[in-house]
Amino acid sequence: MARLELRPFTADELDDAAALLVRRHASHRAAEPSLPALYERKDVARTEIEELLASRASGALAARDGTAVGFMLGRHRPDTTWGANVWVEPAGHAVEEPEAVRDLYALAAARWVEEGRNAHYAVVPTHEPALVDAWFRVGFGLQHVHAVREAPADPMTIAPPGVVIRKPRRDDIDALAELDLSLPAHQALSPVFSTAALPSLWEARTEWDEDFDNPAFATFVGEVNGRVVGSAVGCSVELSSLHTGIARPDDAAHLGFAAVLPEARGSGVGTTLGATVLDWAAAEGYAAVTTDWRETNLLSSRSWPKLGFRPTFFRLFRGIV
């Protein structure tokens, strides 16, 4: 086999990269048909990569005998949120040979680290285990999961004894605000250790007061013994900041939030709220439902797969220390 040739990515490689991305996405869609068919068009894939370049992405291209076999591009997001970071976005890499990911990363990451960007994120399709393994073998670990399932054909919501699921009232706003804080508070604990800043109760309550009647969101609460102990929110996937572009399924709703107070966890409230959002999505005519979770969140990483959600992309992370 001819030697792998590596070089920095330039705009001259756009057509080759677009063809690689189209082939990767077609293979991904064969495994997960809910993903958008539009990105099997070379012109659409090319535009996605052009947008990465326009956002000052940098990276590498791999070739054998003059034929492109892989590319990788990384760009940075706001450092205030993610540290001195680089992201390989869902459309930011494609390879014919999974092992080539390691060589592409080796060339691209040298520049990123030289620029002082030591927090590296990669959003990787899940359909090819050898590809995920190649990322693992350059030091990445699994941080976050994007997932999808079909909207249910038959109702799924069966509340356990003593659990009541209903739409919220304005006098539930204090409870809703408390639940808004309970999820990030949980994720600040072991084994997630999220460093995201916690909102204040006042901020959460003010947001609910202003947004309570927003028709873009479908909110449900769970009661035990007359007390609101859980909530969940559904919306269009178009409102999700994570499920975008090539990673956004067609005609999908989104399970955007779910939380249960610590003392009520294990009662079935969270799973029932998730099922309620799925039933809402079906009633609204959506074909699919997306959600996402931190894999180190032991609760959500176990609950959502039980409701039929299948991983579509993994967000991987590597910190250079």
Query: What domains does the chain contain, in order, with CATH numbers?
Result: 5-139 (3.40.630.30), 150-309 (3.40.630.30)
The encoded tokens of residue 148 equal 């999808």
The encoded tokens of residue 146 equal 């994007």
pLDDT tens per residue across span 38-91? 999 999 999 999 999 999 999 999 999 999 999 999 999 988 888 899 999 999
Predicted local distance difference test score (pLDDT) of residue 80: 83
- Is the confidence at residue 1, as pLDDT, over 80? no
The burial of 65, by beta-carbon neighbours within 10 Å (0-12 exposed, 13-18 middle, 19 or more buried), is given as exposed
Sheet with 227-236, strands from edge to edge, namely: 85-88, 119-125, 310-319, 141-150, 288-294, 252-260, 227-236, 218-224, 163-166
Predicted local distance difference test score (pLDDT) of residue 158: 87
Predicted local distance difference test score (pLDDT) of residue 83: 86
pLDDT tens per residue across span 104-139? 999 999 999 999 999 999 999 999 999 999 999 999
Angle at 160 between CA 158 and CA 161, to 5 degrees: 130
Predicted local distance difference test score (pLDDT) of residue 58: 97
pTM for the predicted model, two decimal places: 0.95
Predicted local distance difference test score (pLDDT) of residue 96: 97
pLDDT tens per residue across span 144-182? 999 999 999 998 988 899 999 999 999 999 999 999 999
- Is the confidence at residue 267, as pLDDT, over 90? no
The encoded tokens of residue 155 equal 């109702």
pLDDT tens per residue across span 196-229? 888 899 999 999 999 999 999 999 999 999 999 9
The per-residue pLDDT of the chain, averaged, comes to 96
